[in-house]
């Protein structure tokens, strides 16, 4: 007789289930379910009690939870623990193209679809799915198209490689790698989200001072982003070699570009707040003064009405006080970080040494003009209301009355020719009412003979026609021709500003209401980009002052006054009630 292990009832020797309680009877080998401990019959594939899949005798199992796993699995899909490499994995062949394990007899690799020959396969240059980052060796092939050339940088959670794209005739790219195994489990979700957000942001943005993202993929526990390769050094690396501050003119050239790209981010819908402006995130292209903003890992979309950020990230010394959870970050947070960066470039004082404390710039470096020093000192004010309210305002103050003779010239530009030396004369549309008809302006574009020039705008409210113009054929001794382009405003994209009030606490209290309810005139700025096929580049500043309708302003003030009176009445009523109850 066979006794039931659950209720103790005697059953037939060959019984598969207890006749009293229905519990599966133990087989001759005494197998039990690794999940619930229930006795199992011989040959069972699932536990009748809890439904857990059961491994076959020759199947690989997780040593932590006992459940069956695939031969190629690195982590258990049930408990998440790392799996030990099994002997069958070590004996299997690898794809000669990507190094992935292949099943016996396979003609094509399941990972990259490369045809597998009958000859012995060479060992790959990199063990796939290893822990940490930075171990990809030269000639390693990723995603079937990116050949690693060398490692550029290495950090705690990731690495950056220089590679070439086989599908684009060997175009150089930068491959950014991040490994989940190098991150604490409690932080893994946040870091992966930041890494993916960076790729998604840069993939849809187009600006000459942003590195473009062209691809993103995952391989095991490693995440990769493929970006435009920028040859050069970061401002952080350049600072290490300096024994004296940078000249003011050169810093203003960089500041002009940084203000422009940050203002471009702030004009997106919704606004993009960069939140990590510092020398280490600004790349200077080799042989030029063109800068590229890199590393968008902690950039975030601005959400009106939110009182503080969900995630508190930033770099000590460059991050403003509100970025430490006291308030929501906005354009003024990037103004502060840019001011801290410019302060360091012009003084060589590291702001990390004493966060939130910036000695007057002119005292540290008397060579800096009083105007520029006062602009930067205002940008790093601890209170948001005391700083510049947006990047355009800070840029105007920095470059007021300044002619940047050494404006940036990218690789391939014809440095020294007067046609490509920075800004052309500005175009001002004057005052335009909200909802009014779209005015137009004509601007004359100098085009070298026989050259094609591309025209574009960096603001959604400005359209340019035509987008491409071609100079007349060379001849007659005329080196260049002038072609007229038409600039047109887009009324739907023009928005008036909001009334800001500064002063004592009463004024600031009223200012909270006016910023929401009272429209005000606001000057918006953009640039007409001119890029020639021969490499020449310059731009035309464009500005317009958006004026709200009079009845909107009147209504805004009436609603503001009414709201203030209601709030005062509520406070008085609450105070009277408290006195009566007391």
Domain-terminating residue out of 189, 213, 228: 228
| Percentage of the chain modeled with pLDDT above 90 | 15
Residues 387 and 275 in one domain: yes
Residue whose tokens read 């092939």: 141
Residues 358 and 295 in one domain: yes
Per residue in 396-444, pLDDT (tens digit) is 999 886 666 444 433 333 333 333 334 445 777 878 888 777 677 777 7
pLDDT score, position 176: 84
Per residue in 486-496, pLDDT (tens digit) is 888 888 888 88
User: Measured between alpha carbons, how far is 52 from 150 in angstroms, rounded to an integer?
Assistant: 47
| Res. 557: pLDDT tops 80 | yes
Tell me how many domains the chain contains: 3
pLDDT score, position 416: 33
Is there a domain that residue 261 lies in?
yes
Is there a domain that residue 366 lies in?
yes
Is there a domain that residue 24 lies in?
no
Residues 442 and 546 in one domain: yes
In the chain, how long is the greatest CA-to-CA distance? 115
pLDDT score, position 245: 92
- Range picked from 107-116, 181-190, 273-282 for highest mean pLDDT: 273-282
Is there a domain that residue 558 lies in?
yes
> Is 343 in contact with 337 (CB distance < 8 Å)?
no
Residues 272 and 299 in one domain: yes
Q: How confident is the model at residue 301 (pLDDT cuts 50, 70, 90)?
A: very low
| Prior bond of 270 cis (ω within 30°) | yes
- Range picked from 105-109, 110-114, 267-271, 366-370 for highest mean pLDDT: 366-370
* Residue bearing the bigger pLDDT, 122 or 56: 56
Average pLDDT over residues 281-309: 64
User: Range with the lowest mean pLDDT among 26-35, 252-261, 341-350?
Assistant: 26-35
Is there a domain that residue 326 lies in?
yes
Residues 484 and 558 in one domain: yes
Q: How confident is the model at residue 534 (pLDDT cuts 50, 70, 90)?
A: low
- The CATH number for 255's domain is 1.10.510.10
Is there a domain that residue 429 lies in?
yes
| Res. 34: pLDDT tops 70 | no
Mean predicted lDDT score pLDDT of the chain: 75
Structural domain for 182, as ranges: 141-228
By C-alpha distance, which of 289, 296, 500, 322 is closest to 410?
Answer: 289
Residues 240 and 384 in one domain: yes
- The CATH number for 498's domain is 2.60.40.10
User: Measured between alpha carbons, how far is 85 from 79 in angstroms, rounded to an integer?
Assistant: 17
pLDDT score, position 345: 95
Residues 151 and 253 in one domain: no
Residues 428 and 499 in one domain: yes
By C-alpha distance, which of 527, 531, 538, 539 is closest to 451?
Answer: 531
pLDDT score, position 543: 82
Is there a domain that residue 298 lies in?
yes
Residues 391 and 533 in one domain: no
pLDDT score, position 87: 46
Residues 374 and 292 in one domain: yes
Residue whose tokens read 């099943």: 103
- The CATH number for 219's domain is 3.30.200.20
Is there a domain that residue 553 lies in?
yes
Residues 257 and 307 in one domain: yes
Domain-terminating residue out of 204, 228, 252: 228
By C-alpha distance, which of 44, 10, 11, 48 is closest to 27?
Answer: 44
Residues 290 and 336 in one domain: yes
pLDDT score, position 496: 83
| Res. 93: pLDDT tops 70 | no
Per residue in 331-340, pLDDT (tens digit) is 888 999 999 9
């Amino acid at each position: 007789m066979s006794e039931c292990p659950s209720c103790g009832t005697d059953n037939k020797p060959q019984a598969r289930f207890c006749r009293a309680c229905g519990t599966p009877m133990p087989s001759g080998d005494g197998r039990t379910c690794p999940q619930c401990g229930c006795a199992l019959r011989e040959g069972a594939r699932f536990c009748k009690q809890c439904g857990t899949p059961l491994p076959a005798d020759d199947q690989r199992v997780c040593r932590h939870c006992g459940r069956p796993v695939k031969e190629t699995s690195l982590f258990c899909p049930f408990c998440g623990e790392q799996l030990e490499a099994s002997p069958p994995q070590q004996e299997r062949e690898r794809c000669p193209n990507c190094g992935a394990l292949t099943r016996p007899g396979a003609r094509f690799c399941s990972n990259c679809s490369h045809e597998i020959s009958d000859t012995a396969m060479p060992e790959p240059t990199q063990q796939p799915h290893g822990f940490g980052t930075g171990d990809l060796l030269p000639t390693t092939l990723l995603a079937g198209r990116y050949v690693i050339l060398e490692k550029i940088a290495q950090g705690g959670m990731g690495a950056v490689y220089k590679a070439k794209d086989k599908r684009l005739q060997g175009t150089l790219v930068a491959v950014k790698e991040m490994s989940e195994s190098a991150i604490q489990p409690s932080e893994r979700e946040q870091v992966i989200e930041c890494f993916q957000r960076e790729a998604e942001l840069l993939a849809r943005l187009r600006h000459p001072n942003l590195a473009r993202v062209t691809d993103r993929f995952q391989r095991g526990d490693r995440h990769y982003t493929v970006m435009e390769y920028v040859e050069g050094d970061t401002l952080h690396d350049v600072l290490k070699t300096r024994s004296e501050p940078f000249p003011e003119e050169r810093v203003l050239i960089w500041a002009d570009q940084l203000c422009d790209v940050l203002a471009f981010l702030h004009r997106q819908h919704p606004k993009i707040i960069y939140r990590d402006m510092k020398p280490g995130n600004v790349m200077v292209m080799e042989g030029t003064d063109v800068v590229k903003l890199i590393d968008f890992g902690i950039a975030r979309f601005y959400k009106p009405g939110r009182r503080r950020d969900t995630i508190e990230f930033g770099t000590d010394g460059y991050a403003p006080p509100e970025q430490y959870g006291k308030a929501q970050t906005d354009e003024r947070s990037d103004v502060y970080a840019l001011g801290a960066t410019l302060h360091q470039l012009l003084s060589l004082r590291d702001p990390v040494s004493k966060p939130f404390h910036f000695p007057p710039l002119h005292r540290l470096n008397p060579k800096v003009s009083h105007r520029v020093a006062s602009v930067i000192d205002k940008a790093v004010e601890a209170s948001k209301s005391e700083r510049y309210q947006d990047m355009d305002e800070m840029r105007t103050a920095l470059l007021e009355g300044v002619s940047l003779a050494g404006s940036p010239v990218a690789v391939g530009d014809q440095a020294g020719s007067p046609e490509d030396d920075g800004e052309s004369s500005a175009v001002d549309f004057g005052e335009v009412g909200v909802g009014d008809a779209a005015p137009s302006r004509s601007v004359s574009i100098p085009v070298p003979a026989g050259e094609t020039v591309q025209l574009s705008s960096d603001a959604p409210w400005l359209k340019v026609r035509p987008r491409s113009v071609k100079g007349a054929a060379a001849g007659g001794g005329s080196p260049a021709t002038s072609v007229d382009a038409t600039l047109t405003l887009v009324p739907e994209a023009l928005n008036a500003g909001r009334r800001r009030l500064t002063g004592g606490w009463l004024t600031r209290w009223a200012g909270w209401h006016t910023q929401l309810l009272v429209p005000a005139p606001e000057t918006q700025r953009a640039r007409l980009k001119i890029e020639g096929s021969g490499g020449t580049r310059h731009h035309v500043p464009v500005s317009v002052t958006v004026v709200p309708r009079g009845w909107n302003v009147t209504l805004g003030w009436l609603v503001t006054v009414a709201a203030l009176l209601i709030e005062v009445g509520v406070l008085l009523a609450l105070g009277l009630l408290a006195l009566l109850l007391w």
